[in-house]
Structure 1
Amino acid sequence: MAFHAYLLRCNDGSYYVGHTDDLETRMAQHQTGATGGYTAPRRPVTLVWSETFPTRVEAFAAERRIKGWSRAKKEALIAGDWDRLRMLARSRKT
């Protein structure tokens, strides 16, 4: 079974990070508001990034890591701008 970490852009421009073992079903839940919580009043949402992991532990770890990132770092991830992502990671350490 595969697991996914994912990043959504909400209608208000904010980002939501989660993980799941069924990305298609989870997206449908977010779109209908069935999940409640953060995304329900911020619909519609758009899937802007996801990655597949072999275990739930790894997907959850990615979720937790990304949740702690700045908006700029999340946007670099979405754009696939690995140089900017590395630069932003280094600038956090100084």
Structure 2
Amino acid sequence: MPILLEQAEHIQPDAMSWFQLGAAYGDLGQSEQAIKSYEKALNLDPEYDLAMFNLGGVYWNRGSIVEALDIWRRAIERFPDHELTAKLQRDFPQFFPRDID
């Protein structure tokens, strides 16, 4: 963690570094730090699709279902062709119905 934090804060403070830090915090069960890291990644790169989907996942895993669904809805709207959009629609059709043409 110290190396990832140093990288994100000083060496290479880009969206990918913050994303990696968020993933590491998430793996350690440190949801608050993971959320802040993913949000920082998205502030630096609003088009970072995986950061947005993962942010929703952190909220979901900590039991903040309303926040998770809100983030995932926005992710699905922004990235309709992403593979994780299809996964969410398949796994949670009650929340994310597929559009039928």
Report the structure, 1 or 2, having the larger helix content: 2
TM-score, normalised with respect to structure 1: 0.29
Structure with higher RCO (Cα < 8 A, 6+ apart): 1
Report the structure, 1 or 2, having the larger strand content: 1
